[in-house]
Amino acid sequence: MESFFLQVVQKLAAAQIESPRLETRLMFAEVLHRLPSEIFQDITITEEEKKKVEDMLEQRLKHKPLDKILGHKEFYKYEFKVTEDVLSPRQDTEILVESALEILQNISKAYILDLGCGSGCIIESLLKDLPSARGCAVDISDKALILAAENADNLEISERICFLNASWFDTDFIIKIGEKFDMIVSNPPYIPSADIDTLDTEVKEYDPRLALDGGENGYDSYAQIARIAPRLLQDGGYVLLEAGIGQAEKIADIFIANGLRLRKIVNDLSGIARCVILQKAVAENKNS
């Protein structure tokens, strides 16, 4: 008779789950408190452990994302807790972190603002890699902020980050923030409202709508962030934005229309224009 491991692989494959063997290994590793590399297909497990794997399998067959079943996900170099209150951190977003680090290595004691921090994966990866940097993480969701704060604790960066529950559409948003930054990073919601129902179950049922819905054309949050960014940045400060497929040029145009300069559009590993980098000009000395 086939091992329990293989039975799980087959059930996941039959449900069109993309990497059934890897996901089975990750479930077993979680239940057995082992590394995924220590899991092999004939591994013996107790009845109690089997029950736990079956419970995970049942959830996964309903297309709940694996990270939300396990309760954590690796992003960039670090592990983040995830729940249904936050967007599952995406590998596509790592290029934004890498692009930001390239710029920030030349800025000492950088002060960074993350607009829409979710799990905290972007700003907290940056702060962990840059021990002299500080940050402010904003989100409209208080549940996301609670989780982001827990992730900051786990990464031991809590003393260098503050959290603010606010919306960038608030009329007093600039006053609430009350400071200027060397860099703004943001992966705002960018799916056109009408497209949300066409997304995979994993996304439309398990990522919060607040993290997805970019308004009628997908650009509502970019347009608002572009309006406020110049007042939140130091002269010479940078904005790095994640772009959905086919959105990068238009996002750049929106920010250019608000006075920022386009520095670069960076592709992700699949060749998709994913990260738009802009900069606020350095003001000319009025006396010179």
Ligand X SMILES: C[S@@+](CC[C@H](N)C(=O)[O-])C[C@H]1O[C@@H](n2cnc3c(N)ncnc32)[C@H](O)[C@@H]1O
Question: What's the one-letter identity of residue 20?
Answer: P
Residue placing its CB nearer to ligand X in the complex, 122 or 248: 122
Residue placing its CB nearer to ligand X in the complex, 31 or 225: 225
Say whether 102 sits in a helix, a strand or coil: helix
Calpha distance 208→213 (Å, rounded): 9
> What's the min distance (Å) between Cβ of 115 and ligand X?
6
Q: Give residues with Cβ within 8 angstroms of 134, minimum separation 6.
A: 109, 110, 111, 112, 127, 160, 161
Q: By the 8 A CB rule, do 68 and 205 touch?
A: no
Q: Using CB under 6 A as the criterion, which residues of the chain lie in contact with ligand X when the complex forms?
A: 86-87, 89, 93, 116-119, 121-122, 138-141, 144, 167-169, 187-189, 210-211
> What's the min distance (Å) between Cβ of 256 and ligand X?
22
Nearest to 187 by CA among 104, 64, 100: 100
Residue placing its CB nearer to ligand X in the complex, 6 or 70: 70
> What's the min distance (Å) between Cβ of 248 and ligand X?
16
Residue placing its CB nearer to ligand X in the complex, 6 or 111: 111
> What's the min distance (Å) between Cβ of 32 and ligand X?
29
Calpha distance 83→104 (Å, rounded): 30
Residue placing its CB nearer to ligand X in the complex, 83 or 187: 187
> What's the min distance (Å) between Cβ of 281 and ligand X?
26
In the DSSP assignment, the letter for residue 158 is G
